[in-house]
Structure 1
Amino acid sequence: MKGLQHKKISEIDGNDPFFNSLKEDYSEFCSWYAKKANAGEEAYVFHNSRKRMDGFLYLKLETDPDPSIAPPLPPGKALKVGTLKINAHGTKLGERFIKKIFDHAMSHKVDYIYVTVFEKHAGLINLLERYGFEKRACKTSINGSEHVLTRDLNLVTGHVVRDFPHFELADKKFYLLAIYPEYHSAFLPDSILNGESHDILEDVSHTNSIHKVYISGINRTKCLKPGDIVAIYRTNDGKGKAYYRSVVSSLGVVEEVRQIKSFKNEAQFIKYTKPYSIFTIEQLKDYFTNKQKSYIIKFTYNAALKKRIIRKRLIEECLISTRTRWDFTQLTEKQLRWIAKEGEINESIIIHQA
């Protein structure tokens, strides 16, 4: 057993040494864990390739305010991050868990998310703040005082990362961006296709991360601007006609586009690209030396389409022209909206819908 799984808490070993630090922080942890296990509740758990636990996430929907939090949290439907622990080891596993928190929040249409964190866990606090969480209150208990961080899901700042997974359509451009099948699912794990093996979803940075780096040799991609929306198009896998096998699987938002010549040296280029790209260090070194792939596109992985859309429908119903290659082609807002609707992504992710 390895990878990220959603399991009943009763099936997760509460005596695993992974939980020792939580037992030290929270005197009532053992009784809390037993109560949740007996109630049949579930949590996310991550086991590494050595079958050791490296992550645990328990989420709870709330409508009644916690009286131990001051000042009180706002009224509304909240998603409480009841328990979150990650053994950080440089693979962006924290981002993978953050994405799962947002997935639940969007699914249940909550007004805000909140989490309580002791000040000593600075790394976790920094991670949460990166994605728009702010310190709003304190929670006092027998265990001491904790920061209460909240993320208002009804507020949009215009910042690509702090607004994740929301995105705006106003004053943006939209594009279809192709990716080869051999890279697709390890790069975009929530967009894995039916029939593909989940064994490809390894505990590596480019799989776990909310951020992705796409390295392009297409000159036209230099027109991309921060905030533009890309629909990821997985090209034909060779197991049949592209008409039926090529699909749109995901939506992302551009953070920035850089030319390869903007990096001072190879080390700077690899530091920027390696955590977020599918390529090996050897491939990256070759790209930097030969500069055949000149454009570095960094984007956030905002939504996996629940229903993948085949090329046939994109031509016949979405009316995407075949006069230009689909390696990189511009879409209209109407076409982007059609993809989002037919792909059955959560409608609340898109801001300012008409």
Structure 2
Amino acid sequence: MNDDYLALEKFEEINLTDVFFNSLRENYEGFDDWFRQKAASGEMAYVSLSEENKINAFLYLKSEEGIVKDVDPNLKDGKHLKVGTFKINAHLATTSNRFMAIILRTFVEEGFDDVYVTMFSDVKGLPELFRKFGFQKYGTKQNRIGREDVLVRNKDDRGDIYAQFPKFDLNGGKFLLSIKPRFHTRMFPDSKLNTEKSFVREDISPANSVVKSYLTSMSGTPALNHGDKMVIYRTADYGKSAEYSSVVTSVCVIDEVRNINSFTDEEDFMSFAGRGSIFSTDELHAFWKSKQYSQVIRFLYNLPLNKRITRHDLLTEGILRPNRRTQYFGFFKMADEEFKAILRAGKINENFVVNKA
């Protein structure tokens, strides 16, 4: 069994005759020739296959240099990331969030001047998703069957945590939140540890959603505010020493924190807490009834650290202050210099940080 339902495959290994491509073939003249050219040049795309080996999702990204002349008005001279193909079967809806994370992390990490996508205005759902994450209508592109809208996001910083995702600034509070291993990698699959050989990534909301929700009653969490930064601390595996088994893995940005008693009713609670939640509907229903966890945290999963940092290194390499040895690691506020030290030790690409001062 593959450990991920989505894989980066060569065009030449992808079945062009799959019915998945029929709508693209109808809308884009010369689609088959285009596909074969990509195969001949060794290019790759992200593909999801069903158990019957049928294509369920497809994402192709293309790097372009110079002036983009088939867009009106032209995109000016620069380094452009084009979303060449973005198509998902309806039942894999949460994969759209995963594709967005792939697109935007590539855009930022590889230093593109802008990223753009073309689509017909009557496409359902996708335009709203792209606009939420900072894309704006720029112009149009003529197609055989009509004109497509061109949506563009440039590298300017907007201040909105969604519109500049996965980038983040250094404003606001900095916090550490611990997550147990049984929840961690299902919520943050891009932060999987090398030791988690048996983990299989499925197409489920808590894995794919950029927006996460988590319930807790840990002291201090009500102090979280919109825009605060939070690093995720994966606690030790059962029976192993926390010194080397507990690790910092991820950087997140807080959207909103609500007390469970602030919701008008269970429907209101489920609407807020269910998005990207690791908990099942039945579990959330039970939490609503029992009020077992008082705080509901909604946040963005911006990116994994390139290097996971063990508790040992946090405490012995000058990353955290020396007095943290006796600190409760469930949840606590960090100093700005501690957060910056985590970014350095985690080998985060500076392109992801809006203000580096």
Q: TM-score range by the shorter chain?
A: over 0.9
The answer as to whether partners of 1:91 and 1:204 remain within 8 angstroms in 2 is no
- Note if 1:324 corresponds to 2:327: yes
Deviations 1:50-94 (A, max 9, x none): 543221111111112222211111332110111111123364210
Normalising by structure 2, report the TM-score: 0.95
SS of the equivalent of 2:48 reads strand
Give the 3 Å change call, closer, same or farther, for CA 181–49 of structure 1 in structure 2.
Answer: farther
Counterpart position of 2:134? 132
Root-mean-square deviation (CA, aligned residues, Å) is 1.5
Rounded to whole Å, the distance in 1 between the matches of 2:261 and 2:74 is: 51
Superposition deviation, residue 197 in structure 1: 3.7
Letter aligned with residue 174 of structure 2: F
Give the 3 Å change call, closer, same or farther, for CA 161–200 of structure 1 in structure 2.
Answer: same
User: Equivalent residues in 2 for 1:57-206 (5 A)?
Assistant: 57-89=59-91, 91-153=93-155, 155-170=156-171, 172-197=172-197, 199-206=199-206
The unaligned stretches of length 5 or more in structure 2 are none
Rounded to whole Å, the distance in 2 between the matches of 1:15 and 1:221 is: 52
Rounded to whole Å, the distance in 2 between the matches of 1:197 and 1:312 is: 23
Rounded to whole Å, the distance in 2 between the matches of 1:118 and 1:69 is: 14
Rounded to whole Å, the distance in 2 between the matches of 1:190 and 1:132 is: 22
Counterpart position of 2:302? 302
SS of the equivalent of 2:326 reads coil
Rounded to whole Å, the distance in 1 between the matches of 2:92 and 2:352 is: 29
Rounded to whole Å, the distance in 2 between the matches of 1:311 and 1:288 is: 34
Rounded to whole Å, the distance in 1 between the matches of 2:102 and 2:137 is: 21
- Note if 1:342 corresponds to 2:327: no
Rounded to whole Å, the distance in 2 between the matches of 1:199 and 1:118 is: 38
Letter aligned with residue 206 of structure 1: P
Rounded to whole Å, the distance in 2 between the matches of 1:45 and 1:208 is: 15
The answer as to whether partners of 1:251 and 1:302 remain within 8 angstroms in 2 is yes
Superposition deviation, residue 273 in structure 1: 1.9
SS of the equivalent of 2:237 reads coil
Letter aligned with residue 238 of structure 1: Y
Give the 3 Å change call, closer, same or farther, for CA 146–85 of structure 1 in structure 2.
Answer: same
Give the 3 Å change call, closer, same or farther, for CA 122–32 of structure 1 in structure 2.
Answer: same
Deviations 1:105-153 (A, max 9, x none): 1231111101111112131111111101000011113342111100012
User: Equivalent residues in 2 for 1:16-31 (5 A)?
Assistant: 16-31=18-33
SS of the equivalent of 2:320 reads coil
Rounded to whole Å, the distance in 2 between the matches of 1:199 and 1:336 is: 29
Rounded to whole Å, the distance in 1 between the matches of 2:52 and 2:347 is: 36
| Match among 37, 40, 44 for residue 38 of structure 1 | 40
**How many pairs does the alignment contain?**
352
The answer as to whether partners of 2:215 and 2:294 remain within 8 angstroms in 1 is yes
The answer as to whether partners of 2:108 and 2:167 remain within 8 angstroms in 1 is no
Rounded to whole Å, the distance in 2 between the matches of 1:143 and 1:108 is: 34
Superposition deviation, residue 325 in structure 1: 0.7
SS of the equivalent of 1:237 reads coil
Letter aligned with residue 39 of structure 2: A
SS of the equivalent of 1:276 reads coil
Rounded to whole Å, the distance in 2 between the matches of 1:65 and 1:48 is: 39
The answer as to whether partners of 2:83 and 2:116 remain within 8 angstroms in 1 is yes
Rounded to whole Å, the distance in 2 between the matches of 1:90 and 1:54 is: 7
